[in-house]
A and B are shown apart, each in its own frame.
Chain A
Amino acid sequence: MRFMALWRPGPNANPPTENMMAEMNKLIDEMTKAGVMVQTGGWNPASPCTVLKSASGKVTVTDGPYTEAKEVIAGFAIFDVKSKAEAIDWGKRFLQVAGDGTSEMRELVDGQPR
Protein backbone atom coordinates (compact mmCIF):
# COMPACT_ATOMS: atom_id res chain seq x y z
CA MET A 1 0.00 0.00 0.00
CA ARG A 2 1.26 3.43 -0.85
CA PHE A 3 0.54 6.44 1.32
CA MET A 4 1.19 10.12 0.86
CA ALA A 5 1.69 12.28 3.90
CA LEU A 6 1.38 16.07 3.82
CA TRP A 7 3.05 17.95 6.65
CA ARG A 8 1.61 21.18 8.03
CA PRO A 9 3.62 22.65 10.90
CA GLY A 10 1.66 24.13 13.80
CA PRO A 11 0.96 27.89 13.80
CA ASN A 12 3.59 28.56 16.46
CA ALA A 13 6.23 26.30 14.98
CA ASN A 14 9.77 27.59 14.99
CA PRO A 15 11.92 27.26 11.91
CA PRO A 16 13.69 23.89 11.91
CA THR A 17 16.94 23.81 13.87
CA GLU A 18 20.12 22.14 12.71
CA ASN A 19 19.62 19.46 15.33
CA MET A 20 16.10 18.78 14.14
CA MET A 21 17.25 18.54 10.54
CA ALA A 22 19.91 16.04 11.59
CA GLU A 23 17.26 13.96 13.37
CA MET A 24 14.99 14.20 10.35
CA ASN A 25 17.75 13.02 8.03
CA LYS A 26 18.34 10.12 10.39
CA LEU A 27 14.67 9.16 10.22
CA ILE A 28 14.59 9.43 6.43
CA ASP A 29 17.72 7.28 6.30
CA GLU A 30 16.04 4.73 8.56
CA MET A 31 12.92 4.68 6.38
CA THR A 32 15.08 4.25 3.28
CA LYS A 33 16.99 1.39 4.87
CA ALA A 34 13.69 -0.21 5.87
CA GLY A 35 12.68 -0.16 2.21
CA VAL A 36 9.68 2.04 3.03
CA MET A 37 10.51 5.52 1.72
CA VAL A 38 9.59 6.03 -1.91
CA GLN A 39 10.07 9.77 -2.12
CA THR A 40 10.13 12.78 0.13
CA GLY A 41 10.64 16.47 -0.27
CA GLY A 42 9.81 19.92 0.94
CA TRP A 43 8.60 23.16 -0.51
CA ASN A 44 10.89 26.05 -1.20
CA PRO A 45 9.73 28.63 1.36
CA ALA A 46 11.27 31.45 -0.70
CA SER A 47 9.04 30.67 -3.65
CA PRO A 48 5.46 31.79 -3.08
CA CYS A 49 2.71 29.39 -3.94
CA THR A 50 0.57 29.69 -7.01
CA VAL A 51 -3.11 28.78 -6.84
CA LEU A 52 -5.05 27.69 -9.89
CA LYS A 53 -8.79 27.79 -9.50
CA SER A 54 -11.36 26.54 -11.93
CA ALA A 55 -14.94 27.79 -11.76
CA SER A 56 -17.51 27.42 -14.54
CA GLY A 57 -14.73 26.46 -16.92
CA LYS A 58 -12.71 29.60 -16.21
CA VAL A 59 -9.30 29.13 -14.67
CA THR A 60 -7.83 31.88 -12.54
CA VAL A 61 -4.24 31.90 -11.46
CA THR A 62 -3.28 33.68 -8.26
CA ASP A 63 0.22 34.18 -6.96
CA GLY A 64 0.78 34.76 -3.37
CA PRO A 65 1.17 33.67 0.15
CA TYR A 66 -1.17 31.35 1.97
CA THR A 67 -4.08 33.05 3.62
CA GLU A 68 -3.63 31.25 6.90
CA ALA A 69 -0.55 29.78 8.54
CA LYS A 70 -2.31 26.50 9.18
CA GLU A 71 -2.62 25.94 5.45
CA VAL A 72 1.11 25.97 4.85
CA ILE A 73 2.27 22.61 3.61
CA ALA A 74 5.96 22.33 4.40
CA GLY A 75 6.76 18.88 3.10
CA PHE A 76 5.53 15.59 1.81
CA ALA A 77 6.48 11.94 1.76
CA ILE A 78 5.33 8.93 -0.21
CA PHE A 79 5.93 5.53 1.33
CA ASP A 80 5.23 1.87 0.67
CA VAL A 81 3.94 -0.03 3.68
CA LYS A 82 2.11 -3.24 4.47
CA SER A 83 -0.83 -1.71 6.32
CA LYS A 84 -2.45 1.54 7.40
CA ALA A 85 -1.28 0.78 10.94
CA GLU A 86 2.31 0.71 9.68
CA ALA A 87 1.80 4.02 7.88
CA ILE A 88 0.49 5.52 11.11
CA ASP A 89 3.47 4.23 13.04
CA TRP A 90 5.94 5.84 10.64
CA GLY A 91 3.83 9.01 10.82
CA LYS A 92 4.18 9.06 14.60
CA ARG A 93 7.95 8.69 14.29
CA PHE A 94 7.95 11.63 11.90
CA LEU A 95 5.96 13.80 14.33
CA GLN A 96 8.32 12.94 17.19
CA VAL A 97 11.04 14.63 15.17
CA ALA A 98 9.05 17.35 13.40
CA GLY A 99 7.22 18.68 16.44
CA ASP A 100 3.77 20.30 16.66
CA GLY A 101 1.68 20.27 13.57
CA THR A 102 -0.48 18.06 11.41
CA SER A 103 0.47 15.21 9.16
CA GLU A 104 -2.33 14.34 6.79
CA MET A 105 -1.99 10.85 5.50
CA ARG A 106 -3.86 9.45 2.53
CA GLU A 107 -3.70 6.12 0.82
CA LEU A 108 -2.89 6.46 -2.86
CA VAL A 109 -5.19 4.44 -5.08
CA ASP A 110 -3.60 1.67 -7.04
CA GLY A 111 -5.10 0.80 -10.34
CA GLN A 112 -5.73 2.38 -13.66
CA PRO A 113 -8.58 4.74 -14.38
CA ARG A 114 -11.34 2.69 -15.93
Chain B
Amino acid sequence: MLCSEAMAASEAQRAVEAIWRIESASVVAGLARIVRDLGLAEELAQDALVAALEQWPTSGVPEKPGAWLMAAGKHRAIDLLRRRQRLESKQGELGREVEERQGMGTDELDAALDDTVGDDLLRLVFIACHPVLSEESRVALTLRLLGGLTTGEIARAFLVPETAIAQRIVRAKRTLAEARIPFEVPRAPEVTDRLSSVLAVIYLVFNEGYSATAGEDWVRPALCEDALRLGRIVAELVPNEAEVHGLVALMEIQASRLKARTGPTGEPILLLDQNRGIWDQLLIRRGLAALARAEAVGFAPGPYTLQAAIVACHARAPSPDETDWSRIVSLYELLAGIAPSPVVELNRAVAVSMASGPDAGLALVDMLRSEPSLQSYHLLPSVRGDLLVKLGRLDEAHAEFKFAASLTRNARERTLLLERAAACSPSG
Protein backbone atom coordinates (compact mmCIF):
# COMPACT_ATOMS: atom_id res chain seq x y z
CA MET B 1 0.00 0.00 0.00
CA LEU B 2 2.70 2.40 1.09
CA CYS B 3 4.71 1.21 -1.84
CA SER B 4 2.03 1.99 -4.41
CA GLU B 5 1.45 5.39 -2.81
CA ALA B 6 5.14 6.13 -3.10
CA MET B 7 5.02 5.01 -6.72
CA ALA B 8 2.07 7.25 -7.48
CA ALA B 9 3.87 10.15 -5.80
CA SER B 10 7.05 9.60 -7.76
CA GLU B 11 5.03 9.30 -10.96
CA ALA B 12 3.34 12.61 -10.18
CA GLN B 13 6.76 14.09 -9.53
CA ARG B 14 8.02 12.87 -12.91
CA ALA B 15 4.97 14.41 -14.56
CA VAL B 16 5.62 17.72 -12.78
CA GLU B 17 9.26 17.65 -13.89
CA ALA B 18 8.24 17.00 -17.49
CA ILE B 19 5.75 19.85 -17.44
CA TRP B 20 8.38 22.06 -15.84
CA ARG B 21 10.74 21.40 -18.72
CA ILE B 22 8.04 22.37 -21.19
CA GLU B 23 6.70 25.40 -19.34
CA SER B 24 9.46 26.83 -17.15
CA ALA B 25 10.97 29.17 -19.74
CA SER B 26 7.61 30.80 -20.51
CA VAL B 27 6.74 31.06 -16.82
CA VAL B 28 10.06 32.63 -15.84
CA ALA B 29 9.91 34.93 -18.86
CA GLY B 30 6.34 36.01 -18.11
CA LEU B 31 7.14 36.68 -14.46
CA ALA B 32 10.33 38.55 -15.36
CA ARG B 33 8.24 40.92 -17.46
CA ILE B 34 6.06 41.64 -14.43
CA VAL B 35 8.69 41.97 -11.71
CA ARG B 36 11.50 43.20 -13.99
CA ASP B 37 14.09 41.12 -12.15
CA LEU B 38 15.32 37.85 -13.53
CA GLY B 39 16.54 36.39 -10.23
CA LEU B 40 13.28 37.25 -8.51
CA ALA B 41 11.25 35.86 -11.42
CA GLU B 42 13.06 32.57 -11.20
CA GLU B 43 12.50 32.40 -7.43
CA LEU B 44 8.78 33.01 -7.92
CA ALA B 45 8.65 30.36 -10.62
CA GLN B 46 10.44 27.92 -8.33
CA ASP B 47 7.87 28.67 -5.61
CA ALA B 48 5.13 27.86 -8.10
CA LEU B 49 6.91 24.61 -8.93
CA VAL B 50 7.08 23.69 -5.24
CA ALA B 51 3.36 24.39 -4.93
CA ALA B 52 2.72 22.11 -7.91
CA LEU B 53 4.84 19.35 -6.39
CA GLU B 54 2.79 19.64 -3.18
CA GLN B 55 -0.65 19.87 -4.74
CA TRP B 56 -0.66 17.90 -7.99
CA PRO B 57 0.00 14.46 -6.51
CA THR B 58 -3.32 14.71 -4.64
CA SER B 59 -5.36 17.13 -6.79
CA GLY B 60 -4.20 15.70 -10.09
CA VAL B 61 -2.41 17.58 -12.87
CA PRO B 62 -4.51 20.58 -13.98
CA GLU B 63 -5.80 20.64 -17.53
CA LYS B 64 -3.62 23.60 -18.44
CA PRO B 65 -0.54 23.10 -16.30
CA GLY B 66 1.37 25.99 -17.84
CA ALA B 67 -1.41 28.45 -17.07
CA TRP B 68 -1.65 27.02 -13.53
CA LEU B 69 2.08 27.54 -12.90
CA MET B 70 1.90 31.03 -14.36
CA ALA B 71 -1.10 31.92 -12.19
CA ALA B 72 0.59 30.52 -9.08
CA GLY B 73 3.73 32.53 -9.85
CA LYS B 74 1.69 35.67 -10.46
CA HIS B 75 -0.15 35.30 -7.14
CA ARG B 76 3.21 35.30 -5.45
CA ALA B 77 4.37 38.23 -7.54
CA ILE B 78 1.30 40.22 -6.54
CA ASP B 79 1.82 39.44 -2.86
CA LEU B 80 5.37 40.61 -3.20
CA LEU B 81 4.47 43.75 -5.12
CA ARG B 82 1.78 44.62 -2.56
CA ARG B 83 4.34 44.39 0.19
CA ARG B 84 6.61 46.67 -1.79
CA GLN B 85 3.71 48.94 -2.62
CA ARG B 86 3.50 50.03 0.97
CA LEU B 87 7.03 51.30 0.64
CA GLU B 88 6.96 52.63 -2.88
CA SER B 89 3.76 54.08 -4.23
CA LYS B 90 5.23 54.07 -7.72
CA GLN B 91 4.91 50.35 -7.97
CA GLY B 92 1.23 50.52 -7.13
CA GLU B 93 0.35 50.94 -10.77
CA LEU B 94 2.22 47.83 -11.67
CA GLY B 95 0.44 45.93 -8.91
CA ARG B 96 -2.95 47.05 -10.22
CA GLU B 97 -2.04 46.08 -13.74
CA VAL B 98 -1.08 42.63 -12.54
CA GLU B 99 -4.27 42.42 -10.54
CA GLU B 100 -6.37 43.32 -13.56
CA ARG B 101 -4.73 40.61 -15.56
CA GLN B 102 -5.30 38.23 -12.69
CA GLY B 103 -9.00 39.08 -12.71
CA MET B 104 -9.39 37.83 -16.26
CA GLY B 105 -11.02 34.51 -17.07
CA THR B 106 -8.78 31.58 -17.97
CA ASP B 107 -9.39 31.96 -21.69
CA GLU B 108 -8.60 35.66 -21.65
CA LEU B 109 -5.50 34.96 -19.58
CA ASP B 110 -4.44 32.31 -22.08
CA ALA B 111 -4.95 34.70 -24.94
CA ALA B 112 -2.92 37.37 -23.17
CA LEU B 113 -0.18 34.84 -22.54
CA ASP B 114 -0.23 33.62 -26.12
CA ASP B 115 0.20 37.16 -27.34
CA THR B 116 3.27 37.91 -25.31
CA VAL B 117 4.87 34.57 -24.67
CA GLY B 118 7.06 34.78 -27.77
CA ASP B 119 8.29 38.25 -26.86
CA ASP B 120 8.88 37.21 -23.26
CA LEU B 121 10.94 34.22 -24.33
CA LEU B 122 12.97 36.37 -26.69
CA ARG B 123 13.74 38.81 -23.86
CA LEU B 124 14.79 35.83 -21.75
CA VAL B 125 17.14 34.56 -24.47
CA PHE B 126 18.76 37.94 -24.88
CA ILE B 127 19.24 38.57 -21.17
CA ALA B 128 20.65 35.07 -20.55
CA CYS B 129 23.22 35.63 -23.31
CA HIS B 130 23.98 39.25 -22.40
CA PRO B 131 27.57 40.32 -23.18
CA VAL B 132 27.99 41.61 -19.61
CA LEU B 133 28.13 37.94 -18.53
CA SER B 134 31.07 35.61 -18.98
CA GLU B 135 30.69 32.96 -21.65
CA GLU B 136 30.37 30.11 -19.13
CA SER B 137 27.69 32.05 -17.25
CA ARG B 138 25.76 32.62 -20.47
CA VAL B 139 25.84 28.91 -21.17
CA ALA B 140 24.73 27.94 -17.67
CA LEU B 141 21.97 30.54 -17.54
CA THR B 142 20.66 29.68 -21.01
CA LEU B 143 20.49 25.96 -20.28
CA ARG B 144 18.87 26.65 -16.91
CA LEU B 145 16.33 29.26 -17.99
CA LEU B 146 15.60 28.26 -21.57
CA GLY B 147 16.47 24.61 -21.58
CA GLY B 148 14.75 23.97 -18.24
CA LEU B 149 17.74 21.94 -17.07
CA THR B 150 18.53 21.62 -13.37
CA THR B 151 21.90 22.75 -12.03
CA GLY B 152 22.71 19.06 -11.50
CA GLU B 153 22.02 18.24 -15.16
CA ILE B 154 24.14 21.17 -16.35
CA ALA B 155 26.96 20.16 -14.00
CA ARG B 156 26.92 16.57 -15.29
CA ALA B 157 26.87 17.76 -18.88
CA PHE B 158 29.97 19.91 -18.41
CA LEU B 159 31.72 17.59 -15.95
CA VAL B 160 31.99 20.22 -13.21
CA PRO B 161 30.70 20.11 -9.63
CA GLU B 162 27.08 21.11 -9.12
CA THR B 163 28.10 23.80 -6.61
CA ALA B 164 30.19 25.46 -9.31
CA ILE B 165 27.19 25.70 -11.65
CA ALA B 166 24.93 26.94 -8.87
CA GLN B 167 27.46 29.65 -8.01
CA ARG B 168 27.84 30.57 -11.66
CA ILE B 169 24.09 31.08 -11.95
CA VAL B 170 23.85 33.09 -8.72
CA ARG B 171 26.76 35.28 -9.82
CA ALA B 172 25.24 35.77 -13.27
CA LYS B 173 21.92 36.92 -11.84
CA ARG B 174 23.71 39.28 -9.46
CA THR B 175 25.75 40.72 -12.34
CA LEU B 176 22.58 41.34 -14.36
CA ALA B 177 20.88 43.02 -11.39
CA GLU B 178 23.90 45.17 -10.53
CA ALA B 179 24.41 46.24 -14.12
CA ARG B 180 20.66 47.05 -14.24
CA ILE B 181 20.28 45.15 -17.49
CA PRO B 182 16.75 45.81 -18.70
CA PHE B 183 14.50 42.88 -19.50
CA GLU B 184 13.92 43.79 -23.14
CA VAL B 185 14.63 42.84 -26.71
CA PRO B 186 17.56 44.94 -27.95
CA ARG B 187 16.89 47.70 -30.47
CA ALA B 188 17.54 47.35 -34.17
CA PRO B 189 21.19 48.51 -34.42
CA GLU B 190 22.16 46.21 -31.57
CA VAL B 191 20.10 43.20 -32.41
CA THR B 192 22.49 41.51 -34.85
CA ASP B 193 25.40 41.71 -32.43
CA ARG B 194 23.33 40.49 -29.52
CA LEU B 195 21.84 37.69 -31.58
CA SER B 196 25.31 36.49 -32.54
CA SER B 197 26.07 36.13 -28.83
CA VAL B 198 22.91 34.00 -28.46
CA LEU B 199 23.85 31.81 -31.41
CA ALA B 200 27.41 31.44 -30.14
CA VAL B 201 26.13 30.13 -26.79
CA ILE B 202 23.87 27.60 -28.49
CA TYR B 203 26.62 26.40 -30.82
CA LEU B 204 29.04 26.14 -27.91
CA VAL B 205 26.62 23.81 -26.13
CA PHE B 206 26.17 21.80 -29.31
CA ASN B 207 29.90 21.45 -29.91
CA GLU B 208 30.59 20.36 -26.37
CA GLY B 209 28.15 17.54 -27.05
CA TYR B 210 29.38 16.86 -30.57
CA SER B 211 33.06 16.54 -29.77
CA ALA B 212 33.62 16.89 -26.08
CA THR B 213 36.77 18.85 -25.29
CA ALA B 214 37.40 16.78 -22.18
CA GLY B 215 36.37 13.57 -20.47
CA GLU B 216 35.93 9.93 -21.36
CA ASP B 217 33.21 10.15 -24.00
CA TRP B 218 33.86 11.66 -27.38
CA VAL B 219 30.25 12.60 -27.93
CA ARG B 220 27.53 13.50 -25.45
CA PRO B 221 24.33 13.42 -27.52
CA ALA B 222 22.18 14.87 -24.73
CA LEU B 223 23.99 18.21 -25.04
CA CYS B 224 23.48 18.17 -28.81
CA GLU B 225 19.78 17.56 -28.26
CA ASP B 226 19.57 20.44 -25.78
CA ALA B 227 21.32 22.76 -28.23
CA LEU B 228 19.12 21.66 -31.12
CA ARG B 229 16.03 22.30 -29.07
CA LEU B 230 17.28 25.77 -28.09
CA GLY B 231 18.16 26.51 -31.71
CA ARG B 232 14.76 25.43 -32.97
CA ILE B 233 13.07 27.59 -30.31
CA VAL B 234 15.10 30.69 -31.21
CA ALA B 235 14.54 30.09 -34.95
CA GLU B 236 10.79 30.32 -34.39
CA LEU B 237 11.22 33.43 -32.21
CA VAL B 238 13.20 35.37 -34.83
CA PRO B 239 12.20 33.71 -38.12
CA ASN B 240 13.51 36.60 -40.21
CA GLU B 241 17.10 36.26 -39.07
CA ALA B 242 18.96 34.16 -41.65
CA GLU B 243 21.81 33.12 -39.38
CA VAL B 244 19.48 31.46 -36.87
CA HIS B 245 18.29 29.14 -39.61
CA GLY B 246 21.90 28.73 -40.72
CA LEU B 247 22.86 27.60 -37.22
CA VAL B 248 19.88 25.26 -36.97
CA ALA B 249 20.76 23.79 -40.39
CA LEU B 250 24.37 23.31 -39.29
CA MET B 251 23.33 21.56 -36.08
CA GLU B 252 20.62 19.38 -37.66
CA ILE B 253 23.00 18.12 -40.34
CA GLN B 254 25.87 17.56 -37.93
CA ALA B 255 23.52 15.79 -35.51
CA SER B 256 22.39 13.53 -38.36
CA ARG B 257 25.82 11.89 -38.17
CA LEU B 258 25.86 11.36 -34.41
CA LYS B 259 25.12 7.64 -34.62
CA ALA B 260 27.76 7.14 -37.30
CA ARG B 261 30.46 9.09 -35.50
CA THR B 262 31.29 6.45 -32.92
CA GLY B 263 32.03 2.76 -33.23
CA PRO B 264 30.80 -0.11 -31.07
CA THR B 265 33.11 0.76 -28.16
CA GLY B 266 32.63 4.51 -28.40
CA GLU B 267 35.69 5.16 -30.53
CA PRO B 268 35.50 8.09 -32.96
CA ILE B 269 34.86 7.38 -36.65
CA LEU B 270 35.92 10.23 -38.94
CA LEU B 271 33.59 11.71 -41.55
CA LEU B 272 34.95 9.96 -44.62
CA ASP B 273 35.00 6.57 -42.87
CA GLN B 274 31.44 6.77 -41.62
CA ASN B 275 28.65 4.45 -42.73
CA ARG B 276 26.43 6.95 -44.53
CA GLY B 277 23.55 4.50 -44.43
CA ILE B 278 23.01 5.29 -40.77
CA TRP B 279 23.07 9.04 -41.13
CA ASP B 280 19.72 10.27 -39.90
CA GLN B 281 17.87 11.22 -43.09
CA LEU B 282 15.10 12.95 -41.16
CA LEU B 283 17.58 15.37 -39.59
CA ILE B 284 19.34 15.86 -42.92
CA ARG B 285 16.04 16.79 -44.53
CA ARG B 286 15.27 19.19 -41.71
CA GLY B 287 18.76 20.64 -42.01
CA LEU B 288 18.51 21.16 -45.76
CA ALA B 289 15.10 22.81 -45.26
CA ALA B 290 16.56 25.14 -42.61
CA LEU B 291 19.44 25.96 -44.97
CA ALA B 292 16.99 26.81 -47.74
CA ARG B 293 15.15 29.06 -45.26
CA ALA B 294 18.42 30.79 -44.31
CA GLU B 295 19.28 31.36 -47.96
CA ALA B 296 15.78 32.67 -48.70
CA VAL B 297 15.84 35.18 -45.82
CA GLY B 298 19.40 36.47 -46.10
CA PHE B 299 21.18 38.42 -48.82
CA ALA B 300 24.79 37.38 -48.30
CA PRO B 301 25.23 34.17 -46.30
CA GLY B 302 26.73 34.56 -42.82
CA PRO B 303 29.24 32.25 -41.14
CA TYR B 304 26.69 29.72 -39.83
CA THR B 305 24.88 29.55 -43.15
CA LEU B 306 28.17 28.99 -44.98
CA GLN B 307 29.19 26.26 -42.56
CA ALA B 308 25.76 24.70 -43.00
CA ALA B 309 26.22 24.83 -46.77
CA ILE B 310 29.52 23.00 -46.33
CA VAL B 311 28.10 20.21 -44.18
CA ALA B 312 25.18 20.01 -46.62
CA CYS B 313 27.68 19.11 -49.38
CA HIS B 314 28.65 16.07 -47.34
CA ALA B 315 25.04 15.25 -46.49
CA ARG B 316 24.10 15.27 -50.18
CA ALA B 317 26.97 13.00 -51.25
CA PRO B 318 25.97 9.32 -51.27
CA SER B 319 29.63 8.33 -50.86
CA PRO B 320 32.88 10.15 -49.99
CA ASP B 321 34.03 9.90 -53.64
CA GLU B 322 30.96 11.78 -54.77
CA THR B 323 31.63 14.78 -52.52
CA ASP B 324 31.70 18.11 -54.35
CA TRP B 325 35.10 19.18 -52.95
CA SER B 326 35.54 22.13 -55.29
CA ARG B 327 32.27 23.62 -54.02
CA ILE B 328 33.46 23.02 -50.45
CA VAL B 329 36.72 24.82 -51.24
CA SER B 330 34.86 27.84 -52.61
CA LEU B 331 32.52 27.88 -49.58
CA TYR B 332 35.56 27.88 -47.28
CA GLU B 333 36.99 30.76 -49.29
CA LEU B 334 33.78 32.73 -48.74
CA LEU B 335 33.89 31.82 -45.05
CA ALA B 336 37.52 32.91 -44.76
CA GLY B 337 36.48 36.20 -46.35
CA ILE B 338 33.82 37.07 -43.77
CA ALA B 339 35.07 35.22 -40.69
CA PRO B 340 38.79 34.63 -41.14
CA SER B 341 40.38 32.30 -38.61
CA PRO B 342 43.25 29.82 -38.56
CA VAL B 343 40.76 26.98 -37.94
CA VAL B 344 38.84 27.93 -41.11
CA GLU B 345 42.16 28.01 -42.98
CA LEU B 346 42.97 24.52 -41.69
CA ASN B 347 39.63 23.22 -42.89
CA ARG B 348 40.12 24.94 -46.23
CA ALA B 349 43.47 23.19 -46.51
CA VAL B 350 41.79 19.82 -45.98
CA ALA B 351 39.20 20.62 -48.67
CA VAL B 352 41.94 21.75 -51.05
CA SER B 353 43.81 18.49 -50.46
CA MET B 354 40.68 16.56 -51.39
CA ALA B 355 40.00 18.70 -54.47
CA SER B 356 43.57 19.13 -55.75
CA GLY B 357 45.68 16.52 -53.98
CA PRO B 358 47.61 16.18 -50.69
CA ASP B 359 50.57 18.28 -51.90
CA ALA B 360 48.44 21.37 -52.35
CA GLY B 361 46.78 20.79 -48.95
CA LEU B 362 50.08 20.28 -47.16
CA ALA B 363 51.49 23.53 -48.54
CA LEU B 364 48.56 25.40 -46.94
CA VAL B 365 48.85 23.48 -43.67
CA ASP B 366 52.55 24.21 -43.43
CA MET B 367 51.82 27.92 -43.68
CA LEU B 368 49.72 27.56 -40.52
CA ARG B 369 52.42 25.92 -38.42
CA SER B 370 53.73 29.25 -37.17
CA GLU B 371 50.23 30.44 -36.24
CA PRO B 372 50.36 31.16 -32.48
CA SER B 373 46.70 30.31 -31.80
CA LEU B 374 47.13 26.82 -33.29
CA GLN B 375 50.18 25.87 -31.21
CA SER B 376 48.18 23.62 -28.89
CA TYR B 377 45.37 22.75 -31.36
CA HIS B 378 45.56 18.98 -31.81
CA LEU B 379 43.84 19.00 -35.20
CA LEU B 380 46.76 20.82 -36.86
CA PRO B 381 49.28 17.96 -36.38
CA SER B 382 46.44 15.48 -36.88
CA VAL B 383 45.57 16.91 -40.32
CA ARG B 384 49.25 17.23 -41.19
CA GLY B 385 49.79 13.58 -40.23
CA ASP B 386 46.89 12.57 -42.42
CA LEU B 387 48.31 14.38 -45.46
CA LEU B 388 51.79 12.98 -44.82
CA VAL B 389 50.33 9.45 -44.81
CA LYS B 390 48.79 10.11 -48.21
CA LEU B 391 52.18 11.29 -49.46
CA GLY B 392 53.85 8.16 -48.10
CA ARG B 393 55.96 10.11 -45.58
CA LEU B 394 55.15 7.74 -42.73
CA ASP B 395 57.92 8.63 -40.29
CA GLU B 396 56.90 12.26 -40.24
CA ALA B 397 53.23 11.25 -40.00
CA HIS B 398 54.00 9.04 -36.99
CA ALA B 399 55.56 11.99 -35.15
CA GLU B 400 52.63 14.27 -36.02
CA PHE B 401 49.99 11.83 -34.72
CA LYS B 402 51.93 11.31 -31.48
CA PHE B 403 52.20 15.06 -31.05
CA ALA B 404 48.46 15.46 -31.73
CA ALA B 405 47.68 12.76 -29.14
CA SER B 406 49.68 14.68 -26.54
CA LEU B 407 47.60 17.81 -27.20
CA THR B 408 44.02 16.49 -26.94
CA ARG B 409 42.25 16.38 -23.59
CA ASN B 410 39.70 13.84 -24.81
CA ALA B 411 40.53 10.24 -23.96
CA ARG B 412 38.77 8.66 -26.97
CA GLU B 413 40.43 10.99 -29.41
CA ARG B 414 43.85 10.35 -27.84
CA THR B 415 43.42 6.60 -28.33
CA LEU B 416 42.49 7.09 -31.99
CA LEU B 417 45.50 9.33 -32.61
CA LEU B 418 47.88 6.90 -30.90
CA GLU B 419 46.49 4.09 -33.04
CA ARG B 420 47.08 6.13 -36.16
CA ALA B 421 50.62 6.87 -34.96
CA ALA B 422 51.25 3.17 -34.37
CA ALA B 423 49.95 2.31 -37.84
CA CYS B 424 52.59 4.64 -39.33
CA SER B 425 55.58 3.37 -37.36
CA PRO B 426 58.01 1.07 -39.21
CA SER B 427 57.19 -1.81 -36.86
CA GLY B 428 53.42 -1.20 -37.07
Which residues from chain A sit less than 8 Å from chain B, CB to CB? 1, 32-36, 38-39, 78, 80, 82-83, 85-86, 88-90, 96, 110-114
What's the Cα separation between A99 and B259 when bound, in Å? 37
Name the 9 nearest CB pairs between A and B, nearest first.
Answer: A35-B232, A85-B18, A35-B229, A86-B18, A85-B14, A33-B236, A112-B278, A35-B233, A89-B18
A85 to B17, CA, bound (A): 8
Contacts of A85 in B (CB 8 A): 14-15, 17-18
For residues 9 through 39 of chain B, which have their beta carbon under 8 Å from a beta carbon of chain A? 14-15, 17-19, 21-22
Contacting pair B21 A32 (CB below 8 A): no
Q: How far is the CA of A33 from the CA of B230 in the complex (A)?
A: 10
Cβ-defined contact, A88 with B230, below 8 A: no
Using Cβ atoms and an 8 Å threshold, which residues of chain A touch B275?
112
Contacts of A83 in B (CB 8 A): 14, 17-18, 21
Q: How far is the CB of A109 from chain B (nearest CB, A)?
A: 10
Interface residues of B in 209-259 (CB under 8 A from A): 221, 225, 228-233, 236-237, 259
B367 at the interface (CB under 8 A from A): no
Q: List 17 A-B contacts (CB under 8 A).
A: A1-B225, A32-B232, A32-B236, A34-B22, A35-B228, A35-B230, A35-B236, A36-B22, A38-B286, A80-B225, A82-B18, A83-B21, A86-B22, A88-B15, A89-B19, A110-B221, A112-B260
B264 proximal to A (CB < 8 A) = yes
- A78, closest chain B residue (CB): B282
Minimum distance in angstroms from A78 CB to a CB of chain B: 7
User: How many Å from the CB of A90 to the closest CB on chain B?
Assistant: 8
Chain B residues within 8 Å of chain A by Cβ, number: 28
- Beyond contacts A85-B18, A112-B275: 8 other A-B pairs, Cβ-Cβ < 8 A, are A33-B233, A33-B237, A35-B229, A80-B229, A88-B15, A89-B18, A96-B63, A112-B278
Q: List, in ascending order, chain A residues with CB within 8 A of B260's CB.
A: 112
Given A35-B229, A35-B231, does the pair A88, B18 have CB atoms closer than 8 Å?
A: yes
Judged by DSSP, the binding face of B is helix
Q: Which residues from chain B contact A33 at a C-beta distance below 8 Å?
A: 118, 233, 236-237
**Minimum distance in angstroms from B21 CB to a CB of chain A:** 5
Task: State the CA gap A85–B225 with chains docked (Å).
Answer: 17
> Which residues does chain B contribute within 8 Å of A78, judged by CB atoms?
282
User: B233 to chain A: which residues have CB within 8 Å?
Assistant: 33-35
Q: What are the residues of chain B within 8 A of A96 when measuring CB–CB?
A: 63
When C-beta atoms are compared, the residue in chain A nearest to B235 turns out to be A35
A39 to B159, CA, bound (A): 33
Q: Cβ of A114 and Cβ of B264 under 8 Å apart?
A: yes
| Interchain CB contact under 8 A, B282 and A38 | yes
The residues of B that contact A90 with a CB separation of less than 8 Å are 22
Residues of B within 8 A of A89 (CB): 15, 18-19, 22, 65
Tell me if A80 and B21 are in contact (CB < 8 A): no
Q: Which residues of B contact A114 (CB under 8 A)?
A: 264
Once A33-B236, A38-B286 are accepted as A-B contacts, the answer to whether A112 and B259 lie under 8 Å apart by CB is yes
Q: Scoring B residues 124 to 159 as 1 if CB is less than 8 Å from chain A, else 0, what string do you get?
A: 000000000000000000000000100000000000
A87 CB to closest chain B CB (Å) equals 8
Distance of A96 Cα from B260 Cα, bound (Å)? 38
Q: How far is the CA of A32 from the CA of B232 in the complex (A)?
A: 8
Verify A82–B21 contact, CB threshold 8 A: yes
Q: A88 vs B12: C-alpha distance in the bound complex, in angstroms?
A: 12
Closest chain B CB from A51 CB (angstroms): 25
Q: Min CB distance, B15 to chain A, in Å?
A: 6
B21 and A86 contact, CB distance less than 8 A: yes
In the assembly, what is the distance between CA of A34 and CA of B19, in Å? Answer: 12
Complexed CA–CA distance, A35 and B225 (Å):
10
Residues of B within 8 A of A80 (CB): 225, 228-229
Tell whether, in the assembled complex, residue B282 and residue A39 are in contact, meaning their CB atoms are under 8 Å apart: yes
